[in-house]
Every structure is written in C-alpha cells, then in structure tokens.
Structure 1
C-alpha cells in the first residue's frame, strides 16, 4: 500500500515521499478514515439483514391459515 501511494502521489501530483513519510501517511489515512469505512460496512450489513428479515416475515405470513370467528 505504501508503494502504491508513493507512486500515485509522484505520478499525479509530483510529490515524492520517502518510505518513512509514506508509512505515516498511510497510518494517518487509516486512522482518520478507517472507522468511517468500518461503520459503513456495518450499516450495509444491517440493511442486508433487514431486507432478508422482511423476506422471511413475508414467507411466514404466507403460511398463516385463515381463522373463522
């Protein structure tokens, strides 16, 4: 990852980072953005589970038998 960032910054922005600086940059990005992406993954998983639960609920309701009063 460090080498990819070094290459990107050099090719796209003419910025040269030594390995040490690039490692700190990767750590900074991870620290600042890591929780955001993690939380987004959790929210995506919740949305998938909720959709599946609706399917299960619909399937179970379809199995209900009519009741005469």
Structure 2
C-alpha cells in the first residue's frame, strides 16, 4: 500500500478534528488528530484494504464470467 501524501494526511486530520467538534462537541489539536489517524492506519487500515481487495476480486470474477459468455457467443456452429 502506498504511503499517504502530506496533503492526504492533512485532509484526514482535519476530518477527524471536525468529527470530534461536530459529533462529540470536543476540540482536539493536530497532534491528537494525527495520533488517531496513525492508530486507525496501523490497527484498522488492513481490514479496509483487505475488503477492497475482496471487492476488486469479485468484480474481476464477474467480468471474467461475462467475457467468457461473450466469447462462447462468438463461436461458430460446426
């Protein structure tokens, strides 16, 4: 998995701060938001990554089956 850019990390940090402000009525600083982001990335990110891989695999299998059907349809009768 490629590392996040500084801009992506910054956007995520801001989103975490916004969540705490809007949902929990708590103000957290940049360091706390970065620590939460690092925790999520380290301990939870693999679950989301693996789900994305499974979803991609399912789509590839479905498309492969459709391609196989299309190829059979192209065969000429003997």
Category of TM-score, reference length = shorter chain: 0.7 to 0.9
Deviation at 1:66, TM superposition (A): 4.1
- Look at both structures and tell me which one has the larger radius of gyration over its CA atoms: 1
Structure 1 unaligned runs (5+)?
none
My pick for the range that moved more, 47-56 or 9-18, is 9-18
Q: With the length of structure 2 as denominator, give the TM-score of the two structures.
A: 0.70
Alignment correspondent of 2:8: none
Structure 2 unaligned runs (5+)?
1-11
Q: Secondary structure at the match of 2:75?
A: coil
Deviation at 1:62, TM superposition (A): 2.1
Task: Say how many residue pairs are matched.
Answer: 67
Higher RCO structure (Cα 8 Å, ≥6 apart): 1
Alignment correspondent of 1:6: 17
